[in-house]
Amino acid sequence: MSDNITQSAAEAAIGQGNEPFNMTPVEAALPAEEKPNMAQKADWGDPVPYNYNAYTKDATHEWESNTARYEWDGDYGDVGPEFPELELQLFGDPTLRGKKGIDFSTIDSIEVFQEGPARIDPIANFEDAGLHPVMLKNVQLAGYDAPTPIQRYCLPAIHNGYDVIGIAQTGSGKTAAYLVPILSKLMGKAKKLAAPRPNPATYKPGVDAPVTAEPLVVIVAPTRELAVQIFNEARKFCYRTMLRPCVVYGGGTFRDQQEQLGRGCDVLIGTPGRLVDFLERPAVLTLRRMRYIVIDEADEMLAEDWKPQLDKIMAGGDQEEGTINYMLFSATFPKAARDLAKTHLADTHVRLRVGRAGSTHRNIAQDVIEVAGPKKKQALLDYMNDLKPQRVIIFANSKRTVEELDDLLYKNKFPCTSIHGDRNQKEREASMRAFRCGDCPVLITTGVSARGIDVRNVFLVINYDLPSMDHGGIEEYTHRIGRTGRIGHHGVAVSFYDPARDEPIASVLTRTLLETDQEVPDFLKPYVPEGVARENLKFEADSDFEEDAGAAGAAGDAGDAGEGWGSGWGTGAEGAEGVEVPNNFGPAQSTEESVPAW
């Protein structure tokens, strides 16, 4: 057991020495026990009331699926002209781009293991990746200085035409790992491969006939929020090219999404249900030109039982010519995902694993606090009251608890917002926007709604409820705490352990703490394995991936697997010392500067 983390995660998250500020006269008149704790409320800013009326059906509010993308004029040559206004919208303020948190001092020490018959030579920088010049420019505009470990392998693998399975920690840059090489390869060929579409300069929706969408790339993601997030990345990388991205997801208006498809679609991102809805209308969408299909967060999708839809989408249907490349990305790699891979991927596929499947990052300081069920609400309030303002995600297991916590924190003057499956899509989009832009830096959510979400500078994750073993168990825990500590940033995860309820997860949680060099609290000490079992901890956690790996030949020394994973994301020691709480939560881009680099 390493004692790298000397400061408890809970302490690390709590700032000191904030100036108190004055209560309003109404608040001052309240009896002592009802007076709000004003210690740091000044910094948190005002709570923003949830405006449900603004997001009802006929509000003029824009859908995410309708946001601006580069529109290709049929007369352009090979590369479209720049549009500074759109460029600003897609990539953000140029003075704030770049330096996104990759730790260049340790990046070389991160090990990537590859399996499969082909050997991939990793690239060291984007300039060596054989990218289309427009793609290289877009990567630079996005502020990506160097590829992340998974990108170093994925770019050449996809460039060379292999199917790929990528297993990497959340926040390791998987989206660009597939978007950049796929779109780059298509850029030079778009005019030849892509379906005809109307000229956007002259197209009149409702007057001119829509085309059938025949995407070259289809990306499937389990949640609406994640689909939108991938769409936003795709909008960046498609800048100044003919490739036109679209996104479809349940809850959004069918008509608007269909209208967008009717203007032509080369890159389609969608949730499985809505994709299949559109596929059942072949005049609107067909996959006959599809060249690439990407399944993102495959483990989550299979856990949610989207298998019938996935099979339908992956079958492609009526291929005109050519073959389809399959990509499967996931943070963990359970059996259902392995089966899906076996059915669809070429035997020559490349399997890439960064660190260890299913493991949590070491740069996330994890604290587990024993709190009896009935005392949890007060514990949360106490904890929040001691906190410096920062982006926080609070996970609860039921929609009802999410609602209750939203009420509780709102009443206590925290600028919070919440999402869960019963909210309509406009409400969900509005909440995510409020959280991202910093209007509501406290997000309360159920686990599934937050899967794959990447928001910068989430410093703290609170598991108000630990996941139950029936609903995701320790893998769900991994996903949740992975919302912090994204791309080389340090994060803190605090979990409330209710002895009456959480006993089933105690053993595997304790092992996770040990594997990631965290302190094991006293009440979990009985679950610490001993002797050989302790020695074998890392080995066992690896076996899930190795099982039926066939002619597995890890690029590195398999015996080092346990040591290699994640080492480059910062050690536990840095996690403790380097912790610095961003003291504002303005727009994500602008906080970049205030985050300690690494």
Q: Which amino acid is at 327?
A: M
DSSP SS3 for 470: coil
Q: How far is the CB of 488 from ligand ADP (least distance, A)?
A: 9
Q: Which is nearer to ligand ADP, 497 or 598 (CB)?
A: 598
Q: What is the DSSP letter of 213?
A: B
CA distance 481 to 366: 8
CA distance 502 to 261: 47
Q: Which is nearer to Mg ion, 452 or 572 (CB)?
A: 452
Beta strands in 406-548 (DSSP E): 416-419, 442-445, 458-463, 491-497
The 140-159 site mask, x for binding ligand ADP (CB under 6 A), equals ----x--xx--x--------
CA distance 173 to 569: 13
Count of chain residues binding ligand ADP (CB under 6 A): 17
Considering only CA atoms, which of 69, 198, 97 is closest in space to residue 588? 97
Among 156, 173, 251, 447, binds ligand ADP (CB under 6 A): 173
Among 122, 171, 222, 566, binds ligand ADP (CB under 6 A): 171
Stretch that binds ligand ADP, among 86-94, 165-173, 244-252, 318-326 (CB under 6 A): 165-173
State the binding partner of 176 from Mg ion, ligand ADP, none, CB within 5 to 8 A by kind. Answer: ligand ADP
Q: Which is nearer to ligand ADP, 369 or 588 (CB)?
A: 588
Strand partners, 326: 293
CA distance 265 to 440: 34
Stretch that binds ligand ADP, among 45-53, 171-179, 182-190, 264-272 (CB under 6 A): 171-179
State the binding partner of 172 from ligand ADP, Mg ion, none, CB within 5 to 8 A by kind. Answer: ligand ADP
User: Is 174 a residue that touches Mg ion (CB under 5 A)?
Assistant: yes
State the binding partner of 168 from Mg ion, ligand ADP, none, CB within 5 to 8 A by kind. Answer: ligand ADP
Q: Which is nearer to ligand ADP, 172 or 390 (CB)?
A: 172
Tokens 């003029």 correspond to: 60
Among 10, 13, 102, 561, binds ligand ADP (CB under 6 A): 102
CA distance 393 to 442: 6
Among 41, 69, 152, 174, binds ligand ADP (CB under 6 A): 174
Contacting residues for 67 by C-beta, under 8 A, at least 6 apart:
232, 235
Q: How far is the CB of 222 from ligand ADP (least distance, A)?
A: 12
Q: What is the DSSP letter of 279?
A: H
The 426-465 site mask, x for binding Mg ion (CB under 5 A), equals --------------------------x-------------
Q: Which is nearer to ligand ADP, 102 or 576 (CB)?
A: 102
State the binding partner of 144 from ligand ADP, Mg ion, none, CB within 5 to 8 A by kind. Answer: ligand ADP
Strand partners, 548: none
Pair 335, 368: CB distance under 8 Å: no
Pair 295, 328: CB distance under 8 Å: yes
Stretch that binds ligand ADP, among 164-172, 207-215, 333-341, 468-476 (CB under 6 A): 164-172
Phi, psi torsion values for 401, nearest 5 degrees: -65, -40
CA distance 483 to 485: 7
Residues that bind ligand ADP (CB under 6 A): 100, 102, 144, 147-148, 151, 168, 170-176, 454, 486-487
